[in-house]
Every structure is written in C-alpha cells, then in structure tokens.
C-alpha cells in the first residue's frame, strides 16, 4: 500500500501503474481522517459516500487514459468553501445548519479534474475576524498540530494544515486573509501557497474581507502546491476579482535574486530559527542564488489591516452579528471584536484603502530583488490550551500583513525544528509572480528534506 504521506506525483504514478486504486487511496484517507484527523479536531465533516463514488469514477477515468494529474487524488477543503448538499459551517457553532446548493469554483475545478473530496476541514470560526484569543475558537474544539497534539495547528486554516501534515489527505485547500495559509503551514511542517489576490476565484468561499481573501493549496511539497494551483486558478465569471488568465509556474529568466530583510533573532530569542535561516541561505548560495539586503517602506500596514478586517468582516457578517445566534461563537473575544467592528468609521476604512494605494510604492523593492526570504515566525507553534495573549511572544511575523495588503503571493515551507516541532520560512514575490515563489521553494526542497520529515503522529 502507498504511504499516506506520498506526494501527488507518487500517488498519480501509482494510480496509473495500477499499484493502487483511487478507491483504496480514498478508503485509506477516510480511515485516517476518522481516527487521526478527528483526534486532532481537524475534521468538520466527512464525505465518505461522495468520496467513494468520486473515487470509482476516477478509477474509470484512469482506466480510459488521458486523466488529469489530480484524477483519483483525495483531498479536503477548509470548511469555508461551499459544497453542494454538504454542511458548510465556517467553523462556527452559529452556522451549524448551513448547507449550500452549489459548489465553490475551487471545489468544482478540483472535482472536474477528477480529485476526490474526502472532507470539510475544521477552521477558526469565521476565519477569526473577530480577533480570537484561544485555539478553542472553533466549532470542533482546538485543532492540534500534526507534530504534537499539545501544540496548536495554527489558524485559521487549522484542519487543512493538520490533516495534510498527518497524512489524512492527499492535499488540502486553505484560505488566507492575513496569514491563514502560511501560519498552519509553518506549525504543521507542510507547504502552503498563498497566490496573488485574484489568481484563484473566491466564488463560494465565505467572505471575511472581499479585498484581501485568497484561496490556495496546502500540500506536502512545493511541487504538489504547483499542481493544485494550476488546477484551481483561472478566470471565473462568478468572481469579478479573478484574473483573466491561469497561473503559469514555468521558470522565467535567471535565478531570482533573494532579498533579505533585517531579522531580529537575538532579540526574539530564536536560535533555532537563526540556524534554519543561515543554513537555508547557504543552500541557496550553493545553488547559485544571489542574496541582497532589502527593506520594506515603513508604513502603518497593521493599522490599515486592522481597520479593513473590522470593516469588511463586520459588513460581510452583519446579519449574523445582529442575529440571535451571534453569541454562540465559541470565543468571547470574537463576540466582542465583531460587535465593536459594527462601529468602524467609513473615514477610517477609506483611509486604509487609500493607504493601500500609497503602499504600492513598496513595489520598488522588486527593483533590488525578485523575492524575499524570511521566517514565517521566529518560533514553533504554541501550547493549545493557553490563551495566545499569554504565549504569543517574540514570534515575529513582520511580513505577514504588508504582502497581504499588497496582494503579493508567498509560499510557506518547513526549514527546521525547534524543540521537536517544525518552524517555517516564507518566500514572497511580486504580484503575479507565483512562478518565483514556486521555483525558489522547489529548488530548496530538491536540495533538502525538511518537507519529507514524518511526524511521529502520522
């Protein structure tokens, strides 16, 4: 039987060589979701009947030949994506009876490619837009990291990160408004790809912030992320922000110049991250990459991000906030945050959106480099049972918000360990240049094996 931690390429080869069937793969992952996935509070809803029917259809398609690279590969999606006839609860107890009668564009595209939908994966309720403070801000309870159930899986795409790291799915789909793909990627030792804003249709995805939300793959390697991103990107008449062309990850031009910002490892007491960073730079130099010091313009990115999340999040969910089930949210911090956000001023919101215009000047950084390499966070994940305002110390993460405001793509991937749990890096590139993120991360993973490390829980 094939390893549950196999890559998409390995699973695809095994399927084509008839060493395994999609039905067998699907049953293996369903069993693992039922045990390991549920034990980590990572599963919102299993879809066994649909999955097995899709797997049988995939096996037929494979037998006929001409199948897509994803045909027969089982996957899970963050529970903010609409799935026809299957509950879509947005991680929120107040939405536990919500069922849509259509599939999100991303789900539809994956199913059209022949991929097999195994499950809806748990997430932080309403993607955390009310400013959550506990891992338990999730309908199914706190989601444990693939590496240590006592550590948090990250958010808000918690279940996508955990199940991918545990080998409970072939790959998964997460979403990011400001860090929600990169954070679970770092905390579960997996690879997450946040595409440029507009690269992937948001149709059928819960809105938190219409001007910030992105959907992207969470996989076990950059190469897997590339396969999935190419399948889900492209124009969509249902989403006016979607680009008119698909992404192309084909390498263009000479090796990208890697920009390095000033890091504060000592100040943040992060020797493990410092070692990972220095080791990675040595790998890149050995591969012929050049590095150059760069700096982002000093702008109040975070103030703008806070205001936009408040304004758009409160507007998107206003009926719920004003409705009778609002206080069913699990984290009372979210109740307070969403309620206060109802009062966000129009002048503040418009200032934030005007700041984003001014922040476009940050694109000047790409005259000096082609991408930026930085730790996603300075430390591993945090204890699952303590409020974050007590534990979120010296974590860094300075380059989470600014690139999200600017719509730039980033890929997050593992590059070391701290006290037995993974730590991760991100490579950020200019808008529309996912190919740069992909090339750099793929080259790193061809030279190192951090992404192949197996969790003792997997």
Partner 1 sequence: MPEKISRRELAKRGLLGAAALAVPAVLKAQDTQEKPKVDPDIDRKIALIESKLAKPLSDRARELLKASISNNENNSTNRLKHKLPENSEPCFVYHVTLAGDRP
Q: Which of residues 189-218 bind partner 1 (CB under 8 A)?
A: 203, 208, 211
In 3D space, the residue among 190, 165, 174, 217 whose CA is nearest the CA of residue 413 turns out to be 190
Residue 13, sorted as left (phi over 0), alpha (psi -120 to 50) or beta, turns out to be alpha
Identified binder of partner 1 from the candidate list 182, 218, 421, 427, rule CB under 8 A: 182
Work out whether 385 is an interface residue with partner 1 (CB under 8 A): no
Q: How far is CA 366 from CA 205, 322, 430, 431, in A?
A: 31, 44, 7, 10
Cα–Cα distance for residue pair 124/113, rounded to 1 Å: 28
Identity of the residue, 272 or 352, whose beta carbon is nearer to partner 1 in the bound complex: 352
Q: Can you list the positions of beta strands (E) in 93-226?
A: 116-121, 171-176, 191-194, 214-219
Work out whether 6 is an interface residue with partner 1 (CB under 8 A): no
Cα–Cα distance for residue pair 305/225, rounded to 1 Å: 27
Work out whether 362 is an interface residue with partner 1 (CB under 8 A): no
Give catalytic status of residue 221 as yes or no. no
Residue 422, sorted as left (phi over 0), alpha (psi -120 to 50) or beta, turns out to be beta
Identified binder of partner 1 from the candidate list 115, 117, 341, 425, rule CB under 8 A: 341
Identity of the residue, 52 or 332, whose beta carbon is nearer to partner 1 in the bound complex: 332
Number of residues that bind partner 1 (CB under 8 A): 85
Work out whether 45 is an interface residue with partner 1 (CB under 8 A): no
Token representation of residue 399: 């380059």
Identity of the residue, 67 or 304, whose beta carbon is nearer to partner 1 in the bound complex: 304
Q: Rounded to 5 degrees, what are φ and ψ at 382?
A: -110, 160
Identity of the residue, 28 or 329, whose beta carbon is nearer to partner 1 in the bound complex: 329
Identity of the residue, 257 or 269, whose beta carbon is nearer to partner 1 in the bound complex: 269
Identity of the residue, 83 or 401, whose beta carbon is nearer to partner 1 in the bound complex: 401
Minimum Å gap between C-beta 342 and partner 1 is 6
Q: Which of residues 92-131 bind partner 1 (CB under 8 A)?
A: 124, 127-129, 131
Work out whether 267 is an interface residue with partner 1 (CB under 8 A): yes
Identified binder of partner 1 from the candidate list 9, 16, 345, 368, rule CB under 8 A: 345
Q: % helix / strand / coil in the chain, to the nearest 5?
A: 40, 15, 45
Minimum Å gap between C-beta 128 and partner 1 is 5
Token representation of residue 278: 């220095």
Identity of the residue, 83 or 157, whose beta carbon is nearer to partner 1 in the bound complex: 157
- Among residues 158, 180, 201, 247, the one annotated as catalytic is 180
Work out whether 161 is an interface residue with partner 1 (CB under 8 A): no
Identity of the residue, 32 or 40, whose beta carbon is nearer to partner 1 in the bound complex: 40
Identity of the residue, 208 or 432, whose beta carbon is nearer to partner 1 in the bound complex: 208
- Among residues 36, 78, 120, 214, the one annotated as catalytic is 78
Q: Tell me the sheet residues that pair with 216.
A: 174
Site string for partner 1, 239-258 (x = CB under 8 A): xx------------------
Minimum Å gap between C-beta 235 and partner 1 is 11
Minimum Å gap between C-beta 37 and partner 1 is 22
Identified binder of partner 1 from the candidate list 147, 388, 413, 450, rule CB under 8 A: 388
Work out whether 292 is an interface residue with partner 1 (CB under 8 A): no
Q: Which of residues 126-155 bind partner 1 (CB under 8 A)?
A: 127-129, 131-135, 154-155
The CB-side HSE value for 252 (13 A sphere, CA atoms) comes to 10
Of 87-95, 215-223, 320-328, 431-439, the window that binds partner 1 (rule: CB under 8 A) is 320-328
Work out whether 77 is an interface residue with partner 1 (CB under 8 A): no
- By the 10 Å C-beta count (0-12 exposed, 13-18 middle, 19+ buried), 449 is classed as exposed
> In residues, how long is the chain?
458
Specify whether the CB–CB gap between 428 and 440 falls below 8 A: no
**CB-based contacts of 202, cutoff 8 Å, min separation 6:** 210, 213, 214, 215, 239, 241, 242
Give catalytic status of residue 201 as yes or no. no
Cα–Cα distance for residue pair 215/132, rounded to 1 Å: 21
- Among residues 21, 92, 145, 156, the one annotated as catalytic is 156
| Strand order from edge to edge, sheet including 74-78 | 43-46, 116-121, 74-78, 171-176, 214-219, 191-194, 410-418, 421-428, 371-375, 258-260, 291-293
Count Cβ atoms below 10 Å from residue 347 Cβ, excluding itself.
Answer: 8
Give catalytic status of residue 156 as yes or no. yes
Q: Which of residues 395-424 bind partner 1 (CB under 8 A)?
A: 395-402, 404-405
Identified binder of partner 1 from the candidate list 53, 339, 457, 458, rule CB under 8 A: 339
Minimum Å gap between C-beta 336 and partner 1 is 4
Token representation of residue 367: 């005259």
Q: Which residues participate in catalysis according to the annotation?
A: 78, 156, 180
């Amino acid at each position: 039987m094939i390893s549950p931690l196999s890559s998409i390429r390995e699973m695809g080869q095994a399927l084509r060589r008839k060493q395994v069937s999609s039905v067998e793969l699907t049953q293996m992952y369903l069993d693992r979701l039922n045990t390991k996935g549920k034990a980590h509070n990572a599963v919102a809803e299993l879809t066994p009947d649909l999955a097995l029917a899709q797997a049988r259809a995939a096996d037929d398609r494979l037998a006929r030949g001409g199948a897509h690279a994803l045909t027969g590969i089982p996957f899970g999606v963050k529970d903010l994506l609409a799935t026809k006839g299957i509950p879509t609860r947005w991680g929120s107890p107040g939405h536990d009876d919500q069922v849509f009668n259509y599939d999100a564009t991303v789900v539809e595209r994956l199913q059209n490619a022949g991929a097999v939908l195994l499950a809806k994966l748990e997430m932080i309720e309403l993607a955390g837009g009310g400013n959550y403070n506990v891992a338990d801000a999730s309908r199914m309870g706190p989601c444990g990291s693939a590496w240590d159930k006592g550590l948090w899986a990250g958010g808000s795409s918690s279940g996508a990160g955990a199940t991918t790291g545990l080998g409970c799915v072939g790959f998964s789909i997460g979403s990011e408004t400001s860090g929600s793909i990169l954070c679970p990627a770092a905390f579960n030792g997996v690879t997450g790809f946040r595409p440029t804003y507009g690269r992937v249709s948001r149709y059928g995805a819960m809105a938190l912030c219409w001007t910030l939300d992105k959907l992207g793959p969470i996989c076990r390697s950059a190469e897997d992320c590339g396969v999935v991103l190419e399948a889900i990107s492209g124009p969509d008449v249902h989403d006016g922000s979607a680009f008119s062309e698909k992404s192309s990850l084909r390498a263009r031009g000479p090796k990208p110049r890697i920009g390095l910002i000033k890091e504060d490892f000592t100040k943040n007491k992060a020797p493990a991250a410092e070692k990972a960073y220095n080791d990675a730079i040595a790998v890149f130099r050995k591969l012929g990459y050049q590095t150059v010091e760069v700096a982002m313009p000093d702008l109040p990115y975070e103030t703008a991000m806070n205001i936009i999340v408040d304004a758009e999040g409160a507007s998107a969910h206003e009926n719920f906030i004003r409705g009778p089930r609002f206080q069913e949210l699990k984290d009372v911090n979210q109740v307070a945050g969403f309620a206060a956000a109802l009062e966000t001023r129009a002048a503040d919101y418009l200032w934030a959106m005007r700041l984003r215009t001014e922040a476009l000047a940050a694109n000047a950084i790409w005259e000096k480099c082609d991408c930026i390499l930085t730790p996603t966070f300075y430390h591993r994940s945090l204890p699952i049972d303590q409020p974050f305002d007590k534990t979120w110390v010296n974590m860094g993460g300075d380059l989470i918000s600014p690139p999200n405001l600017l719509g730039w793509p980033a890929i997050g991937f593992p590059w070391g360990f701290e006290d037995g749990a993974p730590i991760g890096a991100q490579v950020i590139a200019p808008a529309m240049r996912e190919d740069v993120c992909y090339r750099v991360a793929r080259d790193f993973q061809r030279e190192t094996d951090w992404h192949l490390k197996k969790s003792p829980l997997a």
